Amino acid sequence: MTQVAQDEKRYRWIGAAVALVALAGWLVALYFWSAAGEARDRLAQHVTLHGTTQELEQQITTLRAQTQEARTMRDTAFGERDTLSTELDQMRRDFTTLDQDSTALRSSNASLQSALDEGRQNLSEITAALSETQDRATEATQELSDIGARLETARAQEAALRSTLSALNAQAASLTAQAADAEDRIQAARDAEATLEQRQQSARDAQAEIESTRARLQAAVARLSQQRDALVDDAQAARAQVQALHGVTRDLAALLARRSDDLQTIEARISSTQQVSGLALATAYAHDNIRIRFAPDGAFTMRNTRTGRAVTGDYTLSAGQITFDGVAGDTGSAAFPMRCALSIRQDGFALADDDGSCALLDGMDFTRAEG
């Protein structure tokens, strides 16, 4: 509280000082304003007395400088006044804050006083509880004495019980020895029983294995009988198939012999044809719209690419002659066999009519063609 009073007093002095400074500023401003008025009066007197332009200008310049200085001092005084006013406002706010803090301290002091009273009451209760605890300790000491007496009695009883326990231990040792002997005899009987049980189990296992073996043998005999019957049937069927295959084999051998003879004949024809004609077999030859192809097996195909008419047949070659026969297809007015004179060239061949049967192909030159 003393500190708050001191701060309040100090703030009051500061406020008074600020007011005095503001008053001094106003006085200074008033002084300079009066000085400016006197300067103007002196200027008028100088103008009246001297009347010289140069002096007047110098005096005017001096007076203007003094006036500017007075204005500067006035502005400075006003600025200091504003600053002091701001500080005064801040001090007032600080005083308000301190007043609030003082109020809070008073409230805290009251709370502490209440807590102190409560602590004193708790101390009284603790003192009473301590007295009660001391009374209980006295009672506990008496009970401890009683327990000591009962403990001595219990120790005497324990000694008697230990003596009795020693006698019982001796009897238990004797009974344990007897029990061990009996256990040995029981174990021997169990071993004998286990051996007998193993023998019986072995006998049962052997009997079961014999029964299983007999069942397997019976099943095997039945299965073998079935296999024997099946093999007999298969053997009979195989004999029939062998007899049938013998006939087929004979037929195939005869057919193979005929095919072999035919193949030899064809190969001979091809060989003789290639040697005689010099034609490139399996190659297409063309004359205008007519295309002809000779196959190595003695067959030929002739087609008109413009009309689409075509014939197939056989051909034979001899020295300087080719004969077309066995022709089928769109033959038109042609008659077969057709015998044509054959002239082999490097890139093809030419046909000519010898006996009138090759009039349709007379004078045609065939050259190799693609496709």
Residue ranges of domains in the chain: 2-126, 278-369
Which of the four pLDDT bands, split at 50, 70 and 90, describes residue 327?
A: very high
CB atoms within 10 A of CB 266: 13
Q: What is the dihedral of CA 299, 302, 308, 309, to 10 degrees?
A: -90
Total-model pTM: 0.30
Q: What is the pLDDT of residues 36-49, one digit of tens each?
A: 667 667 656 655 65
What 328-332 contacts at long range (C-beta under 8 Å, 24+ apart), as own/partner pairs, is none
Whole-angstrom distance, CA of residue 60 vs CA of residue 43:
8
CATH architecture label of 278-369: Beta Barrel (2.40)
Q: What is the pLDDT of residues 278-325, one digit of tens each?
A: 566 668 899 999 999 988 888 999 999 999 999 999 999 887 899 999
Whole-angstrom distance, CA of residue 208 vs CA of residue 43:
161
Whole-angstrom distance, CA of residue 249 vs CA of residue 252:
5
Tokens of 26: 């106003």
Q: What is the pLDDT of residues 10-60, one digit of tens each?
A: 666 666 776 776 777 777 677 767 766 676 676 566 556 555 667 767 877
In percent, the amount of the chain with pLDDT more than 90 equals 15
